Structure 1
Amino acid sequence: MILLVPGGKPYYAAPFLLLLAAAGADPCLRWLDRTRRRVLSASWAVIGAAVSLLVGLPLLPVSALAPILAVNKGQGEQAGWPEPASTVRNVREQVPHGTAAIFTRNYGQAGALEHYGLPSVYSGHMSYADWGPPPDSAAGPVVVVGPYLPSWFTGCREVTVHDNGLGVENEEQGVKISLCTGTSRPWSSLCGELRHYY
């Protein structure tokens, strides 16, 4: 709970849970040895596994996510990924020969766009920045997904505001997608400014 309240991801606690599991293994095994409690403990294990699967994995339809989002907002972030990919693809096709680089505000957007087949996707967010910026030879148009500093890009115009059509409020709902004519400096010199951790 200490990790979830300030917005941490559920998996942040995994290393600590390993210590707790090791500490509780012996008492738990002794308890399980008592014959009459085996059925009860198996039932609790099944219930715990079912709840963990529902909260941790995208198994439910979007229409049933409301109670899960109260515990794990990450479920909402996984909803509706084909829609932003389609929106960005449509914006990129406005460029002759579809050669624009795509720069996203966060790693989730970049990963989803790559997953759905968009080429030349980059982001300065967290470890995604380790893949590097576009090459300096990619001096042409840029599709920018999300907010950006005006000093990074030139000739920008907002093309659309993305609507996932699912009624799910996540980081992609309402994101602005802009088409810029280029960068203000070569990508290699912008690299340090583009990296961010928030």
Structure 2
Amino acid sequence: MDLALRAAKEAWQTQLPNVSRRVDAASNDFTPVWPGEHYRLLAALVKILQPNRVIEIGTFRGVSSLAMKEFLPPKGKITTFDIVPWDSVPHTSLRPEDFSDDRLRPEIADLSDPAKFELHRPLLQETELLFMDGPKDGVFERKFLDQLESIRFQKPLLLVLDDIRFWNMLAIWHDIARPKLDLTSFGHWSGTGLVEWRT
């Protein structure tokens, strides 16, 4: 609860003009919208937690990655997973130079696949903040969360789930048997959930 209140206050005070400028003119720029969108909340969580390892699942146009990267600590890194290359997504906000300092790394992998999950187990074990904005197909999220139970995290993990109010995400959110908080009023209109994941 304390983290949620601090994050809401920090999100209120956080602006993302650098990220906003990167949003393609053909796309809607939702980065200033808060509450209602999660970009400022994600940035606020990174500002507060200062995680050295962040994982994002669901790169899409890269706006969330850019919002979090801006506030990483000096040694912080984000790995963003998707099943398609970032530069194949129309109107992406990402550029090749975003990856040049090795603080943002794209990976093409379906982490619901046990073999791919095992391949990235060492990275997952180091993760302190995990933002899951996957397909919301009712399959990926459940498979991934089941496998996440097998990870022994080196530090406590904060899991941020997007779209928990979607019809096919309701049961998945409900079934998470860990300390959690529905933070939708201070996050994404379609649902934002925080989960304290301790091993």
The two structures share one fold, judged by TM-score above 0.5: no
More relative contact order, 1 or 2 (CA 8 Å, 6+ apart): 2
Structure with a larger share of its residues in strand: 2
Structure with a larger share of its residues in helix: 1
The structure that has the greater radius of gyration is 1
TM-score, length-scaled by structure 2:
0.35
TM-score, length-scaled by structure 1:
0.36
